[in-house]
Amino acid sequence: MVPIEDDLFEKLRVELRRGSLVIAVLGALREERYGYTLRQSLEQAGLPIEESALYPLLRRLESQGLLTSEWREEAKRNKRFYRLSPEGVETLAQLLAEWNAISESILRLTEREM
């Protein structure tokens, strides 16, 4: 087996993670969090994400109607808290079903190869 180049692997890894992070963020926001605690939660689960990627993703998911947010003061600082919207709950369930189907298919395909 010929190893792939590191830069090619990195590009493919980033592409794979991008879709995975949407599901992870939606799943983590089943309970209300603000950006920093969301980042911590993702990192503890093994999915670190930079602020420069997280906040645009949160804005996009909110504009798509999958999240709601509100500004509140906590510890004398204004923080924006995010949570799944009802549409987000439904979409997360659909995405998880699709994720599981894809994962099972990939496992069936790759088990034969190894």
Task: Kindly report, residue by residue over 9-53, the tens digit of the pLDDT.
Answer: 888 888 888 889 999 999 999 999 999 999 999 999 999 999 999
**In-domain check, residue 6:** no
SS (H, E, C) 54-73: HHHHHHHHHHCCCEEEEEEE
Residue 34: φ, ψ to 5°:
-105, 170
Is residue 2 domain-resident? no
Tell me, yes or no, whether 85 lies in a domain: yes
CATH number, domain containing residue 28: 1.10.10.10
Total count of domains within the chain: 1
- DSSP one-letter string for 3-46: PPPHHHHHHHHHHHHHHHHHHHHHHHTTS-EEHHHHHHHHHHTT
pLDDT at residue 109 above 70? yes
* Residue 74 located in a structural domain: yes
Place of tokens 């980033």: 14
Parent domain of 89: 13-113
Instruction: Determine, yes or no, domain membership for 22.
Output: yes
Question: What is the token pair recorded at 16?
Answer: 């794979």
For the entire predicted model, the pTM comes to 0.85
In a domain, 68, yes or no: yes
| Total length of the chain | 114
| pLDDT tier, 65 (very low <50, low <70, confident <90, very high otherwise) | very high
Whether residue 3 is contained in a domain is answered as: no
Query: Does 17 reside within a domain?
Result: yes
Q: Determine contact, residues 87/63, Cβ cutoff 8 Å.
A: no
